[in-house]
Amino acid sequence: MCAKIFIFKYENAFSNKLFLKVIISFMSLISRVSEPITDLFRLVFPVYCENCGETLHKGEECLCSFCEYQLPQTHFHLQTDNPVETIFWGRIPVFAAATFLHYQKGEMVQQLIHQLKYHGKGHIGVYLGRLFGQQLMQSQRFNDVNVIIPVPLHWKKKKLRGYNQSEKIAEGLEKSMNAVKDTQSLLRVTHSSTQTKKTRYERWENVKSIFQLSPESSKLENQHVLLVDDVITTGSTIESCFLKLTEINGIRISIVSLACPSI
């Protein structure tokens, strides 16, 4: 009886060991062949640089290394009183503001943002957001951001475009920052956004009808929030978001965009 139990246990242990060996061998085989499979996949379905059209190599995403190197970064995140912050002087008490890239008509940044907004290439926003997030983490003014809030798009516009481009940028920022993306606290309830020609008081009045806070916004109390837009021109839309968010106790708000054409 004892011998039988011993043999059974031994056989069981042996088969378990064998099973484990088979699994380990299989996993190592997969890890060894997955890279060539990915390479083969890329050979059959090449991915191209969104700027110059060259085939992307291993490790490259969205842009080739040359184009990524050519991105005209502003480095405003390292500079207090930078040109983006001056846009909001006398309007709203922004903690810190920055833009990732210089924007010039006909240049790479304009093309990339156009592809992001109007040609369904949301991955460009995620990619640039991730690069920008890495930069922001090097700044003491931005590296303690807890929550990332993309400027909300009206649901009708979002449905038409397929996604909110600012949400894509926020998705990329979230990948490289110690912060979470929040698309539930601040809601856009109306299409109207023509704030530019209004006086400060009229803007304040108008903002009440454009953006609303949801009950979930209570979790933003005492948080450092990063408001994200694709492009800041007059800053009036982001100002509206800012004004609504300041109704939350203890909130600290910073602002970023991918580019600023007015600078």
DSSP letter (8 states) at residue 185? S
Here's the x/- map for Zn ion, 54-73, by CB under 5 A: it reads as x---------x--x------
Q: Where are the alpha helices (DSSP H) in the chain?
A: 2-44, 65-70, 83-87, 108-118, 122-136, 155-161, 165-176, 200-210, 236-245
Of how many residues is the chain composed?
A: 263
Residues 6+ apart with CB under 8 A from 138: 77, 78
Shortest separation between residue 110's beta carbon and Zn ion, angstroms = 16
Shortest separation between residue 17's beta carbon and Zn ion, angstroms = 51
151 binds Zn ion (CB under 5 A): no
Quote helix, strand, coil % in the chain, to nearest 5. 50, 15, 35
Which listed residue (40, 47, 52, 180) binds Zn ion by CB under 5 A? Answer: 52
Measured from the CB atom, is 110 or 233 closer to Zn ion? 110
Q: Whole-angstrom distance between the N-terminal and C-terminal Cα of the chain?
A: 87
Shortest separation between residue 68's beta carbon and Zn ion, angstroms = 8
Measured from the CB atom, is 56 or 213 closer to Zn ion? 56
51 binds Zn ion (CB under 5 A): yes
Shortest separation between residue 114's beta carbon and Zn ion, angstroms = 16
H-helix or E-strand spanning residue 252: strand 252-260
8 A C-beta contact, residue 132 and residue 256: yes
Measured from the CB atom, is 63 or 126 closer to Zn ion? 63
DSSP letter (8 states) at residue 233? S
Neighbours of 167 (CB within 10 A): 22
Contact positions with Zn ion (CB under 5 A) in 190-219:
none
194-200 long-range contacts (CB < 8 A, ≥24 apart) are: 195/234, 195/236, 195/237, 195/239, 195/240, 196/234, 196/236, 200/91
Number of residues that bind Zn ion (CB under 5 A): 6
Shortest separation between residue 73's beta carbon and Zn ion, angstroms = 16
Shortest separation between residue 124's beta carbon and Zn ion, angstroms = 13
Measured from the CB atom, is 30 or 47 closer to Zn ion? 47
109 binds Zn ion (CB under 5 A): no
Measured from the CB atom, is 64 or 255 closer to Zn ion? 64
Shortest separation between residue 103's beta carbon and Zn ion, angstroms = 18
State how far Cα 16 lies from the chain centre.
46
Measured from the CB atom, is 64 or 151 closer to Zn ion? 64
Here's the x/- map for Zn ion, 155-194, by CB under 5 A: it reads as ----------------------------------------
Measured from the CB atom, is 51 or 139 closer to Zn ion? 51
Q: Which positions lie near Zn ion, rule CB under 5 A?
A: 49, 51-52, 54, 64, 67
